[in-house]
Amino acid sequence: MATTTQADRKAMIPPIILGVLALVSAVEPLSINMYLSGLPQLGRDLDLSQAGAQLTITFFLAGMAVGQLLTGPLSDARGRRSLFRTGAVLLVLATVASALATQAWILFVARFVMGLAGGAAVVLARAVAGDLVKGPELARVFSLLMLLGGVAPVLGPVIGGLMVDGVGWRGVFWLLAGLNLLVVVMIWRFIPETLPAEERSSGGVGPLLRAIGGLLRDRAYVGFTVGFIFSFATMFAYVAASPFILQEYYGFTPVQYSFIFATNTGGMFLLALVNARLVKKIGPLKLARIGNLVMLAATVYLLTAALLDASRWFILAGLFIVVASMGINFANNSALAISRAGTVTGSASAFMGSGQFIMAGALSPLVGLVAAAGVSQPVAMAAVMLGTAVIATVGVWGLAHPRRA
């Protein structure tokens, strides 16, 4: 397909490209939440502890971080399309290797490579969107990506739970391999080159460091990035710990857990839709701050309920509000950050995405380790979630001052 012209780039994103980017955006959540209900089973099959089974998430997230950090600046120098294709093919191969893994170390390596390729795909999807539109329109596009790509994460845990109950956790990875093959076909067919050669940066370590250095000198970019990273970390403390807490502590079955997870993700899906409708009227900054306050209040409530050993239904209510608020937080914080990046949207997206997954990877086993020290699992999860929500608040309300945003 021909390179997109400057005039074309001022138009709205064509629906087919938006649909492909939404499909790509579903890679990361599906690669995590679709097999979550099978973590206890996976641990038994590969002789892993709870923390060991959670490391399969950590290795994936570490790969996501590295993949994004490398791919963003590289795509700023060499363009988007060829890297997009390569990453998508590698993703299929790594997913097949995960399904075939017979030892823990093989699965860890396969999950890291899967994350590496998935990180490349996700950062390129954001960069392509950032090439085509800016400002409030980019926030609207990111909300639509969450909305369109959110259908799969809502259905994914339910399908995954049924598959784990029927054919085991390996079957989930075989299904993911098929979906990732579809991603390859769609990228190959429909994604054009969106970064013209005359607008590309020079490659190498020096330009990368200069790009990151320039971004870090922009206090508003840092603030919105902190808000995005630690909002994601707040949700991810729940993602990593909930299979064990909801199934082993509160007694839900794998299928029930999958429906609970899908319900929470559905709340995020609905708020992403609301955000897409409101962002042009209210503005991404005000919505980002509203979403942050909702998340913070919900984590305070959740910790209080856990300390009081409240009914599991009170815990579920708090988790629903926290996860639903991400429909506002993710789209607006990421759009506000990337909109400040100028000609280095790939580097900006990569830095933000790598920080997101480094932090989430570090948190994956943290709740289990805190619980192993004698704290109840619900209290450990809620305490970690409150801590990360507070840091997100510092970013959105402190660093990203209105006069700098």
> Does residue 156 have a pLDDT over 70?
yes
What pLDDT, in 10s, does the model give residues 91-135?
A: 999 999 999 998 999 999 999 999 999 888 888 887 888 777 776
Residue ranges per structural domain of the chain: 13-190+203-399
344-393 pLDDT, tens digit per residue, is 666 777 778 778 778 877 776 777 777 677 788 889 899 999 999 999 99
Check residue 107 and give its pLDDT: 94
The DSSP result for 48-72, as a single string, is --HHHHHHHHHHHHHHHHHHHHHHH
Looking at per-residue pLDDT, the higher value among 175 and 338 belongs to 175
Among 63, 44, 156, 163, which residue's Cα sits nearest to residue 108? 63
Determine the pLDDT at residue 147.
62
Return mean pLDDT, the chain.
82
Q: CB-hemisphere CA count at 13 Å for 199?
A: 19
* Cα three-residue angle 22-324-165, rounded to 5 degrees: 75
Which pLDDT score, from 0 to 100, does residue 100 have?
92
Nearest one of 54, 55, 56, 87 to 70, comparing CA atoms: 87
Spatial separation of the C-alpha atoms in residues 24 and 4, rounded to whole Å? 20
208 pLDDT tier (thresholds 50, 70, 90): low
Polymer length of the chain: 405
pLDDT of residue 206: 65
pLDDT in tens, 62-96: 888 888 778 877 787 778 888 888 889 999 999 99
What pLDDT digit, counting tens, does each position of 209-267 carry? 777 777 778 888 889 999 999 998 998 888 878 888 888 888 888 788 888 988 888 88
Position 8 confidence tier, pLDDT thresholds 50, 70, 90: very low
Specify whether the CB–CB gap between 329 and 291 falls below 8 A: yes
Please state, for a pLDDT cut of 70, what percent of the chain lies above it.
87
Give CA–CA dist 230/375, Å, rounded.
23
Query: Are the beta carbons of 136 and 13 closer than 8 angstroms?
Result: no
The CATH superfamily holding the domain 13-190+203-399 is MFS general substrate transporter like domains (1.20.1250.20)
pLDDT attached to residue 298? 96
Given pLDDT bands bounded at 50, 70 and 90, which one contains residue 193? Answer: confident
pLDDT at 318 over 70: yes
Q: Name the residue among 98, 289, 106, 247 with its Cα closest to residue 177.
A: 98
What is the per-residue pLDDT for 346? 66
Q: Is residue 249 within 8 Å of 50, Cβ to Cβ? A: no
Query: Residue 7: is its pLDDT beyond 60?
Result: no
